[in-house]
Amino acid sequence: MKVAAIQMVSGISLEANLQAAHALLAAAAREGAELAVLPEYFCLMGHQDSDKLAAREVWGEGTVQQFLATAARDLGLWIVGGTLPLATDSDTHVRNTNLVFSPAGQCVARYDKIHLFRFSNGREQYDESRVIESGRDPVTFDLPSRDGKTWRVGLSVCYDLRFPELYRALRADLLLVPSAFTHVTGQAHWELLLRARAIENLAYVLAPAQGGTHENGRRTWGHSMLVDPWGVLMDQRAEGPGVVAGELGAERLAQVRQQLPALEHRVL
């Protein structure tokens, strides 16, 4: 199964971001991808955290959700919509939500980001909990590919990457990590963590990212990548908008899990 990670440098205009996302999704479809995954905050990288509140949607309706459903149907793709802000019971918080759409345009899975990022090094400060309400439940979905294999796909978002117990719970063949890693933390840990999660779980990892300097002044690390179950880097893109693609092999997955059956050896 061919998969694609969409790298973006999203700005402050929702409409412009959706146009850019559609062009990249269409490029992935032309390359033969069955699954395309957008980065975290693909629809909006605002001037401030509270901009997410103004852009929030009710689950099941809204401009961004309609965009994802229509694009999936028109392009014949499975699309994982990076993240978008969904309304909660609170006027001051949203969920940072990952939605999965089938080629029929139906929403088949929802994951709310569990782990909320907080970082301060004296120059940069981030605290997602100021406007984001955390999720609670791990989520997977089944993707029947054209080659006849049904792939178990595990959902996660960005800062989740630092919590390996989440990925153990997913027990997936393919792990998705849409992200907006800061340049500082990405440079230090991004590739190392992605390859570790692939090796630990003997699973493919597909990680689309924001990558570049945004209108709001923030710089994200990028380096969207696809990693195989042995930790081999299959493809990546350093910065700027683009598509990272590769072929998942059911035989490769089975071979690695057979020659090193670490998943069967788990005790805890």
Q: How are the residues of the chain apportioned to helix, strand and coil, as percentages rounded to the nearest 5?
A: 30, 30, 40
- Show the tokens assigned to 35: 């699954």
Q: State the catalytic residue, choosing from 34, 40, 128, 239.
A: 40
Alpha helices, DSSP H, located in the chain: 14-30, 51-54, 63-75, 164-170, 183-201, 250-259
Which residues are paired to 154 by β-bridges? 140, 175
Helix (H, G, I), strand (E, B) or coil at 59: coil
Helix (H, G, I), strand (E, B) or coil at 71: helix
Strands 211-213 and 204-207 turn out to be unpaired
Q: How many residues does the chain have?
A: 268
Q: State the catalytic residue, choosing from 128, 133, 158, 239.
A: 158
Which residue from 242, 240, 164 is spatially nearest to 205, judged by alpha carbons?
A: 164
Three-point CA angle 5, 175, 217, nearest 5°:
50
Q: What are phi and psi of 247, to 5 degrees?
A: -100, 125
Q: State the catalytic residue, choosing from 113, 128, 133, 239.
A: 113
Catalytic residue flag (residue 40): yes
- Show the tokens assigned to 264: 């069967």
Catalytic residue flag (residue 52): no
Q: What are phi and psi of 10, to 5 degrees?
A: -65, 150
Catalytic residue flag (residue 264): no
The Cβ-side half-sphere exposure at 103, using a 13 Å CA radius, reads: 11
- Which amino acid belongs to residue 19? Q
DSSP 72: H
- Show the tokens assigned to 234: 């299959």
Q: Which residues are catalytic?
A: 40, 113, 158
